[in-house]
Amino acid sequence: MRVCLFITSFLFSLFLSVQAQGSERSFIIGFHGKPGASEDALVQDHRGRVKHKFRHIAAYSVSLSAGDAENLRKDRRIKYVIEDTVYQLIDPVGVSAGSVEYENSWGVERIGSGIAHANNILGYGTRVAVLDTGIDYAHQELADTYYGGWDFVFDDNDPYDDSWNSHGTHVAGIIAAGADGNGVVGVSPGAELYAVKVLDGGGFGLLSWIIKGLEWAVDSGMDVVNISIGGPHSEALAEACDAAYNAGILLVAAAGNGTEISYPAAYDSVIAVTGTDHEDLQGWFAPYGTQIELSAPGVIIRSTSADNNYAELSGTSQAAPHVSGLAALIIAAGTYDLNGDGNVDNRDVRLQMQMSAHDLGETGRDDIYGFGLVDVAAALELSDEEDFSGLTFELIKKNQHWKNFEKVTLAGMLYEVTVVNNSLRAVGVVVYDEEGKRKDLSRIIRFSGQSGQADSFWLDARRSDLQVVFMPVGKPGNSAVVSITK
């Protein structure tokens, strides 16, 4: 495998050298609409050789000369002509070898994954693709969670990780290392891992490989795609990410180790993840920016490496898979239509992670931590409390629209809900069960504005668990008190 690493890096360097010196180079040509025979003829007229026709974006991967590429750019039928750019893994900033489970996996423990595992929420049935350097699928922690994939570097079905630092294998372990009582454990140890190798052993890969990897994820029915890759903006990459996101895939990416946020993390269709340390402070490698969406542990993270070993790495590459693992848990546990668009999909999973994140730094979303540190227990509405002795909370109308509700899970008994108004105009109560929204149980409680007005009702959760969302209506700062008793 080590010989393969050096050969791969050598071949890739040779490829770049020949590409730069030869008469033909690799480009991605984008069209305004779905290309057909006339577009094929247009490329041929400019002496282009089509290498690949992308399926989910209106673009071709083409070999042609720089001069012919420039002429194509002038044609109104062409949307863009860009060179097949080289991207690379987001380099970790520290490595040390070494070899219980939760103690070794401090990040997994910090975000509360153990509570989900104790409730048998392990991510079963969720498909997570790792776009990276491949996976050492023979590793004892990954053999049972690895389900296949594809190698776009060598174009075969053996996406083995031949990288010098086991980058893809390390990422995979954070997501779904087995809960076997030894070594480390992943956030979602029951999830199905798929290796999509788009980077060679040196950590480099072409833009066209990454786009092919995203298309493979769509065609193969992936639920989550983890991307610990960074590079420049590309219209083709943006289109590919948008296409995957609109197809229902949740895209999670490392924000980058530096001052600026890398692409594809910076795109709106992708969740940009930054890294934190043991004290929930920003990692020394982490960037700043409005695109930062979520935070997760990323400093000195122990996970799987080649040949049944373990290693400690730091970086946003280690933070992102914590978020991918949480997404897998949410999908496996089931979510509901949080954004009210009539669908339960990747957008609701994304919103659920945002709403449940533990706020860090400035109040609300900020450029350092985004919405905050992901929280498994809050996202899944789990508690390690065995007995329900009642719940009371203040429902406050806030300026930030994404925080203007409170969620409660009711299970196993009959509950009385009482809402006592302070200054709100109304409180919306939306109830869901495993089948979806319960219109018969949902209601709007209207108030005349007087403090002390109260309304009570019963919710029966003996046959089916209920998710109850309370939404305040009024001016920012107005509130009511909600009490739930059995």
The pLDDT value given to residue 13: 45
Alpha-carbon gap, residue 321 to 271, rounded angstroms: 11
Q: Is pLDDT above 80 for 483?
A: yes
Type of residue at 197: K
Q: Are 156 and 278 part of one and the same domain?
A: yes
User: 93: pLDDT confidence band, cut at 50, 70 and 90?
Assistant: low
Rg (CA), the chain: 25
Pick 377 or 128 by higher pLDDT: 128
Distance CA 64, CA 68 (A): 6
Active-site entry in 84, 132, 136, 161: 132
**Do 174 and 70 reside in the same domain of the chain?**
no
Q: Give mean pLDDT, residues 309-337.
A: 95
**CATH code of residue 34:** 3.30.70.80
Count Cβ neighbours within 10 Å for each residue of 76-85 and write b for 16 or more, e otherwise.
eebbbbbebb
**Residue 132 annotated as catalytic:** yes
Task: Please state, as a whole number, how many other Cβ atoms lie within 10 Å of the Cβ of residue 279.
Answer: 7
Residues paired with residue 467 on neighbouring β-strands, in sequence order: 409, 432
pTM of the entire predicted model: 0.74
Q: Nearest to residue 158, comparing CAs of 129, 134, 191, 130?
A: 134
Both 206 and 354 in a single domain? yes
CB neighbours (10 Å) of residue 327?
A: 33
Question: What integer pLDDT is reported at residue 388 of this predicted model?
Answer: 60
Is the pLDDT confidence value at 135 over 70? Answer: yes
What is the pLDDT of the chain when averaged over all its residues? 89
Query: What CATH code is carried by the domain that includes residue 326?
Result: 3.40.50.200
Strand order in 414-421's β-sheet? 391-396, 479-485, 414-421, 454-460
Q: Report the pLDDT averaged over residues 316-328.
A: 98
* Phi, psi angle pair for 319, to nearest 5°: -75, -45
Is 41 a residue whose pLDDT tops 50? yes
Question: Is 423's pLDDT higher than 80?
Answer: yes
Q: Measure CA 6 to chain center.
A: 31
The tens digit of pLDDT for each residue in 448-457 reads 867 889 999 9
Domain identity same for 478 and 448: yes
Average pLDDT over residues 105-131: 93
Are residue 103 and residue 201 in the same domain, yes or no?
A: yes
**pLDDT, tens digit, 9 for 90 and up, residues 349-371:** 999 999 999 999 888 899 999 99
**One domain, residues 248 and 122:** yes
Contact 351, 402 (CB under 8 A): yes
> In the listed set 357, 377, 397, which residue is the last one of a domain according to the structure?
377
Judgement on whether residues 197 and 340 belong to the same structural domain of the protein: yes
Does residue 226 lie within any of the structural domains?
A: yes
Q: What is the pLDDT of residue 103?
A: 84
The active-site residue out of 105, 166, 269, 317 is 317
In a domain, 2, yes or no: no
| Domains contained in the chain, number | 3
Q: What is the mean pLDDT of residues 29-34?
A: 95
Q: Please determine, for residue 172, whether its predicted confidence score (pLDDT) is greater than 80.
A: yes
Instruction: Specify whether 139 is located in the same domain as 194.
Output: yes
Structure tokens at 239: 């289109």
Query: Across residues 23-50, what is the average pLDDT?
Result: 93
Which two three-digit tokens encode residue 412? 């196993």
Instruction: Say whether both 174 and 258 belong to one domain.
Output: yes
pLDDT-based confidence at residue 387 (cuts at 50, 70, 90): low
- Supply the CATH number for residue 481's domain: 2.60.120.380
CA angle 356, 244, 87 (to 5 degrees): 95
Residue range 166-175: mean pLDDT, rounded: 98
What sections of 31-81 are H helices per DSSP?
37-45, 66-73
Range of the structural domain that residue 254 is part of: 88-377
Q: Which of 51, 84, 117 is the last residue of a domain?
A: 84
Other C-beta atoms lying within 10 Å of the C-beta of residue 330 = 26
Mean pLDDT, residues 254-280 taken together:
95
* Catalytic residue status for 167: yes
The answer to whether residue 259 scores a pLDDT higher than 60 is yes
Residue 43: its pLDDT value, please? 93
- Same domain, yes or no: 233 and 370: yes
C-beta atoms surrounding 426 within 10 Å: 16
Position 120 scores a pLDDT of 87
Report the pLDDT averaged over residues 414-426. 91
- Residue pair 311/95 in contact (Cβ under 8 Å)? The answer is yes
Give yes or no: residues 203 and 300 share one domain: yes
The DSSP H or E segment spanning 263 is none
Model confidence over 210-241: pLDDT tens digits? 999 999 999 999 999 999 999 999 999 999 99
* Single-letter residue type at 451: S
Of 343, 377, 411, which one is at a domain's C-terminal end?
377
Rounded to whole angstroms, what are the CA distances from 195 to 144, 158, 161, 192? 14, 9, 9, 10
Which of 46, 56, 139, 167 does the annotation list as catalytic? 167
Q: Which two tokens stand for residue 256?
A: 């980058």
pLDDT at 403 over 90: no
Check whether residue 228 and residue 285 sit in a common domain.
yes
